[in-house]
Amino acid sequence: MLRSTLGRFLARIAVAGALFAAGAAQAASCPVHYLDGRPPEIRNQKLAAATRELCYGVFGVVHSGVTRTPLWSAEYVRADNLKRAQGLERDDKFHAEQRLPRGQRAELSDYARSGFDRGHLAPNANMPDRRTQRESFSLANMVPQDRDHNRHIWAPIEGAVRTMARKEGELYVITGPAFLGASLKKVGNVIVPSHLYKVVYSPRQKLAAAWFTENRADAPIHVVPVAELERIVGIELLPSLSAKEKERMLRLPKIKQRKNRS
């Protein structure tokens, strides 16, 4: 049912190819967020329809008008920004992204009473000031996320990245959803990802690796090479690296999953 719905939606987007071309042409508009200034490259063309790049202060996203979620967020995570973020009181002002067409963006009403969290891709705790904090609460930076997954699996992964960044000084991070299988769900008009991933590249070590996990409570956390993840999601996530470099593994911290207390 959902697959046919997606097909009808894609058929109605007559300008999808033009929108993707425009997004690709603008990909260098916030190069600081990407390793060597090169954003991910979509290989599975089913993902390419109605995409738009959105640049923010310390992160950027490429948004899909089909799923009404980001396809990825990109961050250049610096230790000095994380130091500025410490102690900054969280201000939960979720909002629809006004730069996106109404018929292609998520609305607050999509998530209302859905049972899913509005899950950040670029985490609020990485934001160094009030402006960037507000930007992180754009729904263009959100995916529908299982509540227990968000709190007990994803939050420890985000914390591990911050710990790494403080030690390394800087990291490039790509975070995104995967839409795998034929039984995807929707909340309102927004498609729920089956999986989530977080790619981490260390400029100091010149190595990368990724966490990959299902979007459900108590899901196991897998650590995979970037090359494997790219094959799974249909996106070349670190295009400036060679195939051999993508097979080499950065050592990621082991995640201690918090127990589900619900």
Provide the CA 164 distance to its chain's centre, in angstroms: 18
In Å, how far are 34, 93, 124, 187, 252 from 131, measured between CA atoms? 21, 12, 11, 28, 30
Q: Within 13 A of 248's CA, how many CA atoms are on the CB side?
A: 12
In terms of residues, how long is the chain?
Answer: 262
CA 106 to CA 18: how far, in whole Å?
21
In Å, how far are 85, 138, 191, 253 from 71, measured between CA atoms? 25, 14, 12, 25
How many other C-beta atoms can be found within 10 angstroms of the C-beta atom of residue 25?
10
Secondary structure of residue 52 in the 3-state scheme: strand
Catalytic residue, candidates 63, 120, 149, 152: 120
Write phi, then psi, for 96 (nearest 5 degrees). -70, 150
63 flagged as catalytic = no
How many other C-beta atoms can be found within 10 angstroms of the C-beta atom of residue 150?
21
Q: In which element (H, E) is residue 69 found?
A: strand 69-78
CA 65 to CA 29: how far, in whole Å?
20
**Active-site residue set:** 120
